[in-house]
Amino acid sequence: MSSLLTMAIILAAILGGAYVFRFAGQKITNNAPMFRDMGYGVAFGYVLAAALLIWAIWYYFQPLETDAGMKNAGVQFFRWAVQGFIIAAIAAFLFRLFGQFVGTAGTRKLFRSMPLTASFGILVILLYAIVAIFAGAIAPYGQAEILGAANVTAGGDPALGGNPEYPLGTDQIGRDILSRLIYGAQNTVGIAFVTTCLAFFIGGSLGFLAATLQGWLDQLLSRSVDVLMAIPSLIFALLLMTIASVWAVELGVPLTIFMVLIIAVIDSTRVYRLARAVGLNIVVMDYIEAAKLRGEGLGYLVFKEILPNAMAPLLAEFGLRFCFVFLTIAALSFLGVGIQPPLADWGTMVRDLAPFINFAAFAPTAAITPLLAAGAIALLTVAVNFVVDWMLHKSSGLKE
């Protein structure tokens, strides 16, 4: 009850503060337009933001250990988050600066107008690509290598049950978590990338074919896609994975391959829709009519006239599709029906390491391992989304 009362008091204070803020602003600046035309809601927003900022600074400087000697893990996590955010921002800034002076004239120009989020996104994607490609060289141990000690705590502090040899500790059966995280980049990202390419190949070519030829082929494909899209994709994937798991045993083919095919087919329906829509928009253009009336063949129309104009939206869609596929695979693996052991994979790791979270109050570092695996997934999708967001914004801005 008292917490409710505190909240009510804080709210009232902010509400009052907003009024005072606007009134004082009007008096001090002699009715400058900014304060004169300020709505009460806007004033409230300013004061609320200020209050949040003050609270965040206050919380950041709370002691790490309480008077009773208990660890104040919440503060620790908050500090980590803030520090991570600042480091990311600085890295993104430096990377953008770097890009403004290195590279071709075109890329330099691109970097100059780039928001920080996009440069952060590109930086992260590059890092992931490097880690994924050179995983074997970077990782200290093998992905399936079972080492001496199981359940070593992360952080490398022997007092808390850690071991400097395994900076992020080991899992329940004694595999090095850091190595598995690094290999996870190769497996999870690599498989998602292959799946997305496959989905684009299937959906893209069928979509453009439907847009160019139209008629019964378009009808047939579009209606089939309608039906497939009427089943939620994760549900459909789970259903097909059930069946595939029986087939995998029967045929002796790894289940992972079935998963790639299944997700590629399910996702190609979305690609098909987009490719067809983009294609249809281009097909009605006068320059296509001019090419048709010139007597050009189908190949020239599709590859020389339509495709070059469809690249920009398709590239953006590739980013979004990749995120979607990546998250679907992670979800399947998390549910235990995706990428199969012994391949290291982030979704599976989250599920396996999840119980560590309950130790957070005693050893903040212990709780970090499952979140690291989940965070690795989130970070890449955030990065891709930042880049796509910027690309879409740029292409829509050019039209104005």
Partner 1 sequence: MDGLSSILKIVLQRLGLGLVTLFVVSIVIFVAVNLLPGDFAEAILGQGATPESVAKIREDLGLDQPMITRYFSWLKGMLTLDLGTSFAQLNFANFGGAGTTTIAEQIAPRLSNTMFLAAVTACIAVPLAVTLGILAALYRNTAFDKAANMFTLSSISSPEFFMAYVLILFLAVLNPIFPSLSNIFEGMAFSERLEKSMLPALTLTLVVTAHMMRMTRAAIINLLASPYIEMARLKGLSPMRVIVKHALPNALAPIINVIALNLAYLITGVVVVEVVFVYPGIGQLFVDSVKIRDIPVVQACCLIFAAAYILLNLTADILSILSNPRLRHPK
Partner 2 sequence: MSNLLTIRGLKIEGRSDETWNPIINGVDLNLKKGEVLGLIGESGAGKSTIGLAAMGYTRDGVRISDGTVEFDGIDLVRASAAVKRGLLGKRIAYVAQSAAASFNPAHKIIDQHTEAPVQHGVDNRASSIEDGIELYRKLRLPNPDEIGFRYPHQVSGGQLQRAMTAMAMSCRPDLIIFDEPTTALDVTTQIEVLASIREIVEEFDTAAIYITHDLAVVAQMADTIKVLLRGDEVEEADTRTMLSAPKEDYTKSLWAVRAFERPAKPAVSTGAVPVVSVRNVTAAYGTTDVLHDVSFDIHAGRTVAVVGESGSGKSTTARCITGLLPPRIGEIAFDGEVLPADYRKRSKDQLRQAQMIYQMADTALNPRKTIGQIIGRPVQFYGGLTGSARRARVDELLEQIELEPSQYFNRLPSELSGGQKQRVGIARALAAEPKFIICDEVTSALDQLVAEGILRLLGDLQDKLGLSYMFITHDLATVKAIADEVVVMKDGKVIEQGPKLDMFTPPHHAYTDLLLSSVPEMDPDWLTNLLQERGVDNIGDAAVDKM
Within 287-326, the residues that bind partner 1 by CB under 8 A are 323
Q: What is the DSSP letter of 176?
A: B
Interacting positions 41-70 with partner 1 (CB under 8 A): 42, 45, 49
**Min separation Cβ 50 and partner 2, Å:** 24
Among 41, 164, 252, 295, binds partner 2 (CB under 8 A): 295
Q: Which stretch binds partner 1 (CB under 8 A): 89-97, 272-280, 311-319, 333-341?
A: 333-341
Query: What is the DSSP code (8-state) at residue 355?
Result: G
Residue 299 interacts with partner 2 (CB under 8 A)?
Answer: no
Q: Which does 331 bind (CB under 5 to 8 A by kind): partner 1, partner 2, none?
A: partner 1
Among residues 2, 3, 5, 33, which is the contact residue for partner 2, using CB under 8 A? Answer: 33
Q: Is 339 in the site for partner 1 (CB under 8 A)?
A: no
Instruction: Report d(CA 224, CA 356) in Å as an integer.
Output: 45
Q: What span, in angstroms and rounded, lies between the C-alpha atoms of 367 and 344?
A: 19
For residue 73, the tally of other CB atoms under 10 A from its CB is 18
**Minimum CB distance to partner 1 smaller for 20 or for 253:** 253
* Binding status of residue 98 toward partner 2 by CB under 8 A: no
Q: What letters, b where the CB count within 10 A reaches 16 and e where it falls short, cover 8-23? A: eeeeeebeebbeebbe
Taking the complex as a whole, how short is the minimal distance between the CB of residue 281 and partner 2, in angstroms? Answer: 11
DSSP string for 61-87: TS-SB-TTS-B-HHHHHHHHHHHHHHH
111 vs 141, beta carbon nearer partner 2: 111
Name the residue among 178, 285, 274 with its Cα closest to residue 222: 274
Question: CA–CA separation, 9 vs 132, rounded Å?
Answer: 52
Is 67 near partner 2 (CB under 8 A)?
no
* 74 binds, options partner 1, partner 2, none, Cβ within 5 to 8 A by partner type: partner 1
CA dihedral 97→103→107→110, nearest 10 degrees, is 10
Decide whether 36 or 223 has the Cβ nearer to partner 2.
Answer: 36
Q: Does 74 bind partner 1 (CB under 8 A)?
A: yes
Binding to partner 1, residues 156-215 (CB under 8 A): none
303 binds partner 2 (CB under 8 A): no
Contact of 322 with 193, CB cutoff 8 Å: yes
Least distance (Å) between residue 251 CB and partner 1: 8
Positions in 369-388 near partner 1 (CB under 8 A): 370-371, 374-375, 377-378, 381-382, 384-386
Q: How many CA atoms lie within 13 A of 397 on its CB side?
A: 7
Is residue 167 exposed (0-12), middle (13-18) or buried (19+ Cβ within 10 Å)?
Answer: middle
151 binds, among partner 1, partner 2, none (CB under 5 to 8 A by kind): none
Give 314 or 374: the residue with its C-beta nearer to partner 1: 374
Number of shown-chain residues binding partner 2 (CB under 8 A): 18
- Which of 202, 327, 391, 394 touches partner 1 by CB under 8 A? 327
User: For partner 2, which is the closer residue by CB, 26 or 233?
Assistant: 26
Residue in 68, 250, 293, 396 binding partner 2, rule: CB under 8 A: 293
67, interface contact from partner 2, partner 1, none, CB < 5-8 Å by kind? none
Segment 234 to 293, residues that bind partner 1, using CB under 8 A: 234-236, 238-243, 245-247, 250-251
Return phi, psi of residue 61, to 5°: -95, 15
Q: ∠ CA(153), CA(157), CA(160), 5° rounding? A: 60
Which tokens hold the place of 196?
A: 């997305």
162 has which bridge partners?
Answer: 153
Q: Is the omega angle on the peptide bond into residue 341 within 30 degrees of 0, that is, cis?
A: no
Can you tell me the distance from the alpha carbon of 217 to that of 210, in angstroms, rounded to the nearest whole number?
6
From the list 60, 247, 287, 362, which residue makes contact with partner 2 (rule: CB under 8 A)? 287
Residue 137's binding partner, choosing from partner 1, partner 2, none, with beta-carbon cut-off 5 to 8 A by kind?
none
Q: Is 127 among the residues that bind partner 1 (CB under 8 A)?
A: no
Distance (Å, whole) CA 208 – CA 41 = 49
- What is the rounded distance in angstroms from the CA atom of residue 195 to the CA atom of residue 203? 12
In one letter, which amino acid is 81? A
Say which entry of partner 1, partner 2, none residue 238 contacts (CB below 5 to 8 A, set by partner kind).
partner 1
Which residues contact partner 2 (rule: CB under 8 A)? 33, 36-37, 113, 285-287, 289-290, 292-296, 305, 308-309, 400
